[in-house]
Structure 1
Amino acid sequence: MSSRINIARPNTNTYNPDPHGLSNSTRPSTGYRAANPDDPLEKIRAFSTAVEDNIEIYSQPLKPHLPAIGRFLIVVTFLEDSLRIMTQWGDQIWYLQQHRKFPWGLSHIFLILNVLTMLGGSSAIILKRFSEYAVAGLLAVVIIQGFGYGLIFDLNFFLRNLSVIGGLLMVFSDSMVTRKKLFAGLPSISETDRKKYFLLAGRVLLIFLFIGFIIQGEWNIARFFVSIVGFAACVMVAVGFKARWSATFLVLVLSVFNVFVNNWWSVHSAHPQRDFLKYDFFQTLSIVGGLILLVNMGPGGLSVDEKKKTY
């Protein structure tokens, strides 16, 4: 008795290019669609990405020097102020005694302490030594001078010095080191969290100089256009959206504005306006220095840019 076993053989004439189902055509759809290059939002996103890439490429030669440049520019207003006090000592004493009613000895102590603190704090920040104490000393100078010279209620002075404080906070964030001693049993904030908060405060305060520029002065078409674009860049810096790009833009705008508007070197040395222009010029340089540190460090953890990396 014989039997025949039928064995099913594969059809060798059929070719399957993707026997394991690895190609996209055989996979179930995940619900994501490719970006439409004609979409206006996609065009804006592609343009901003290209700008950021170009900034990254062309800033590479300067990048190692950005922290030093930023630190020097931030304290340059304090260096200029201390030099001005020393070269105009008699005028400073006369103003404090006659207009601010300082007693004879107190006016001298006030100026000496200001000069020593500004020179010592500025040198420490440039050399990256004891930066926390240096920043605290320069913050004290900003506040004390506001009350001492009676400028604390002047809107322009107030907004500009808020921006200078923002620059000092950027220095503090750049120099933060872990404290070796913490009080046992007390809740503490990690170094990363502290840096996030100081970077946020520094970013927000830096933009007040530009806000002061917007609300003061005569209006024209060019000023209106620069104000709108600059205000948008300030908002982007404050919330940390495309922060490096917007900070770079503000550095360029403020630098051009500073040279053409606060051109103190073109005013006669005997003209009273020269000192005011010189003061505004160096304060603007300090705020530019803070923005340069922002370009170097980035906006920090409390920003839209950082959240986008998470989500």
Structure 2
Amino acid sequence: MSTQRINIARPAQPAFNNDPHGFGNARPMPQAYRAPANPDDPLAKLRAIAGQVEDQVEIISQPLKPHLPAIGRFLIVVTFLEDALRIMTQWGDQVWYLQKHRSFPWGISHLFLLFNIVVMLAGSGAVISKRYTEYAVAGLLSVVIIQGFGYGLIFDLTFFLRNLSVIGGLLMVFSDSMVRNKARFAGLPTLSENDRRKYFQLAGRVLLIFLFVGFILQGEWSISRVFVSIVGLAACIMVAIGFKAKWSAAFLVLLLSVFNVFVNNWWAVHSAHPQRDFLKYDFFQTLSIVGGLLLLVNMGPGGLSVDEKKKIY
């Protein structure tokens, strides 16, 4: 009897799936439908131009980018270094002014100037070397405040706005140098390092723009001044809200640098002229604000900005 091979159909066995939960599924998730951008839309054209400008800024700044933090830090403290040198070289005039016009007692005037010199030199060196930055920034902030009261300039609008911008630059230094504080206090609510840095960056970039506000409020008006003021004010607003902050800050660096060379040209004034010291002071303060903007170009606007929110949404 011949045996016949009978094939019995078996149900197909499922293939072994090494990803039972579907995490490795390459099938794209359904997305909301988006209409294609209209090439004739003015807003789309503006976005394209802004993107091209941002790319060009990135390309131009690429060779300098590794050195931007060091350059920015040095420029921020250069006004304090110049001020310390000026006090040391004009010690007699400084003492006479404080005693004659500010009614400082003899010993207090000397201690006041000595405190300023020591703190400005030590704080500037610490900022440049990136050591003890928290204490250095606190010391330099105290110098800004006590000089405002000591020299009677706290109610001078130009001085006030300029020093707000210098404080903004110091806050940018602080946010750039923040490290995690390992000392935690149990049971007390604390902000994360990223949260604190975001707030310091926000405060720093908002305060940086007050120098330009002071520039708008002073001086004689002309057509070119109106144009520069409108363009510069637009860039300042973009820096403050963090919209295209890197290239708007780069534009302000260029604008303030040109303005500083042509307007605060103290080297062209005779050494005996009283206006020379004022121009020199304004020149180095503007350099400090340029340094803060350079740190902004390097770090970006931080979490509390339009640029960062666009990445999320």
Pairs within 5 Å for 1:178-257 = 178-257=180-259
SS at match of 2:227: helix
- CA–CA separation in structure 2 for the residues paired with 1:138 and 1:234: 25
List per-residue Cα deviations over 1:7-46 (Å, max 9, x = no partner). xxxxxxxxxxxxxxxxxxxxx9953111111111111100
- Runs (5+) with no aligned partner, structure 1: 1-27
- CA–CA separation in structure 2 for the residues paired with 1:159 and 1:29: 49
SS at match of 2:182: coil
- CA–CA separation in structure 2 for the residues paired with 1:127 and 1:93: 31
The runs of at least 4 consecutive aligned structure 1 residues that moved more than 6 Å come to: none
- CA–CA separation in structure 1 for the residues paired with 2:129 and 2:208: 23
Amino acid at match of 2:98: L
- CA–CA separation in structure 1 for the residues paired with 2:249 and 2:38: 29
Cα distance change, pair 99–54 in 1 and its aligned pair in 2 (3 A): same
Cα distance change, pair 33–95 in 1 and its aligned pair in 2 (3 A): same
Cα distance change, pair 282–33 in 1 and its aligned pair in 2 (3 A): same
List per-residue Cα deviations over 1:31-87 (Å, max 9, x = no partner). 311111111111110000001111111211100000000000000000000000000
Which residue number in structure 2 is paired with residue 92 of structure 1?
A: 94
Say whether 1:111 aligns with 2:113.
yes
List per-residue Cα deviations over 1:219-273 (Å, max 9, x = no partner). 0000000000000000000000000011001000000000000000000000000
Aligned length: 284
SS at match of 1:153: coil
Say whether 1:278 aligns with 2:280.
yes
Cα distance change, pair 189–270 in 1 and its aligned pair in 2 (3 A): same
Which residue number in structure 2 is paired with residue 34 of structure 1?
A: 36
Deviation at 1:129, TM superposition (A): 0.3
TM-score, normalised to structure 2, is 0.90
TM-score, normalised to structure 1, is 0.90
SS at match of 2:203: helix
List per-residue Cα deviations over 1:136-190 (Å, max 9, x = no partner). 0000000000000000000000000000000000000000001121222111000
SS at match of 2:96: helix
Amino acid at match of 1:122: S
Which residue number in structure 2 is paired with residue 157 of structure 1?
A: 159
Amino acid at match of 2:148: G
Pairs within 5 Å for 1:43-192 = 43-192=45-194
- CA–CA separation in structure 1 for the residues paired with 2:263 and 2:296: 24
With 31-40 and 152-161 compared, the bigger mean Cα shift is at: 31-40
- CA–CA separation in structure 1 for the residues paired with 2:185 and 2:138: 21
2:307 to 305, 308, 311: 305
Which residue number in structure 1 is paired with residue 267 of structure 2?
A: 265
SS at match of 2:270: coil
Amino acid at match of 1:258: N
- CA–CA separation in structure 2 for the residues paired with 1:34 and 1:264: 56
Amino acid at match of 1:277: L
Identity %: 80
Amino acid at match of 2:189: P
Deviation at 1:88, TM superposition (A): 0.1
Amino acid at match of 1:97: Q
